[in-house]
Amino acid sequence: MKYALVTGGSRGIGRAVCLSLARMGYHVIVNYRSGKESAEETLNMINNEGSSGELLPFDVSNREEVKQALSSWKEKHPEGYIEVLVNNAGIRQDALLVWMKPEEWDKVISTNLGSFYNVTQALIQDMLIKKCGRIVNMVSLSGLKGLPGQANYSAAKGGVIAATKALAQEVGRKGVTVNAVAPGYIRTDMTKDLDEKQLKNLIPMNRFGTPEEVASVVAFLASEKSSYISGQVISVNGGLYT
């Protein structure tokens, strides 16, 4: 059985990624921090596709919690390993830097950037031993371009982009690829507070994207077809910024 872990897999882009990987034959481990009902709904959708999966709750920003959860999973699956990791979990707490509270900076950095270390470091050794692995990091247009009111989010996602390129060079010889996907404006819960009617005028394709359009790129990067692609950032943004 092939295993894939998607952090923040209970809804939005994460849910779409879970379903795409399930269709590829992976047993999908759906991580979530809160919102158990949404996570269970995702798992039901996986099962309805004729695929298999399981729930694995933990807070990606809590290093000890991550370590305990993944160690427990490994003990229960001694013959398997997580071949595909999609670091998708993330949050936004937007504010102009002059008004940004320390906790808004710290929480966004720990959830979006610290989680990259917490989860990836716990799984990378198994991939190296098996000489096979795919790591896909969900970043953002904000991490490439920088957006006003998102100094914390831009810093975190920009950090993940740099870490993606560095790690790709560390593990490439062992058959492990590391890439990032940078969505623009995608219609999810995270963007529901944005003015879509106004913002779509900035997008050459004149619309927000869908989670499924992002998930299709993640699925490609998780497949054998992408075996010579590593250290790259692929934008899915309707031509908004390249």
Q: Report which of residues 199 and 31 the model is more confident about.
A: 31
Q: In the prediction, which pLDDT does 161 show? A: 98
11 vs 178: CA distance, rounded Å: 23
Q: Quick one: average pLDDT of 24-36?
A: 96
Tell me: pLDDT of 65 over 60: yes
Q: In the prediction, which pLDDT does 12 show? A: 94
pLDDT tens string 218-236? 999 999 999 999 999 999 9
- Cα-Cα-Cα-Cα dihedral of 30, 36, 38, 43, to 10°? 40
| Residue 100 tokens, joined | 């940004």
Q: In the prediction, which pLDDT does 200 show? A: 86
DSSP letter for each residue of 56-80 = EE--TT-HHHHHHHHHHHHHH-TT-
pTM for this entry: 0.95
Q: In the prediction, which pLDDT does 191 show? A: 74
Helix (H, G, I), strand (E, B) or coil at 195: coil
Helix (H, G, I), strand (E, B) or coil at 178: strand
Q: In the prediction, which pLDDT does 194 show? A: 75
Cβ atoms of residues 164 and 233 within 8 Å: yes
pLDDT tens string 169-185? 999 999 999 999 999 99
pLDDT-derived band at 112, boundaries 50, 70, 90: very high
Q: Report which of residues 5 and 198 the model is more confident about.
A: 5
Which is catalytic among the residues 3, 26, 32, 153?
153
Q: What length does the chain have?
A: 242
pLDDT tens string 131-184? 999 999 999 999 999 999 999 999 999 999 999 999 999 999 999 999 999 999
Cβ atoms of residues 219 and 17 within 8 Å: yes
Cβ atoms of residues 96 and 154 within 8 Å: no
Q: In the prediction, which pLDDT does 199 show? A: 84
Q: Is 117 a catalytic residue?
A: no
Q: In the prediction, which pLDDT does 242 show? A: 56
